[in-house]
Amino acid sequence: MTMSLALEARIVCPPEVLSRVLDGEAVLLHLGSGTYFGMNEVATHAWERITKGTTFGELLEATVAAFEVDEDAAQLDLEKLIDALVEKRLVTVEG
């Protein structure tokens, strides 16, 4: 089930998560669990902002601007992505 995120919620990358961007796509590794997670171009765009510190609202705004997509569709897709990342302990959501 996809969580509904508040625009002011901060998405945080824990210190035990390593990532690399290769050919425009990110690969994440959780050092504690050994979980790998691969990302496409849009998810990598989001990941790069998450690692620099962002709120869900800022992430949504940047995604809509970068990919010229409908805000409602972008919000749903980002919520699904964040939900998957939380489930794999690759990010936490504060607030």
CATH number at residue 61: 3.90.930
Predicted model pTM: 0.91
Domain-embedded: residue 76: yes
Average pLDDT over residues 37-53: 95
Report yes or no on 16 lying in a domain: yes
Task: Quote the pLDDT of residue 11.
Answer: 97
pLDDT per residue as tens digits for the range 1-43: 566 889 999 999 999 999 999 888 999 999 999 999 999 999 9
Residue 1: predicted pLDDT: 53
The total of structural domains in the chain comes to 1
Name the residue range of residue 75's domain: 10-88
- Indicate left, alpha or beta for 89 from its phi (over 0: left) and psi (-120 to 50: alpha): left
Proportion of the chain in helix, strand, coil states, percent, rounded to 5: 45, 25, 35
Q: Which tens digits make up the pLDDT trace of 58-81?
A: 999 999 999 999 999 999 999 999
In a domain, 93, yes or no: no
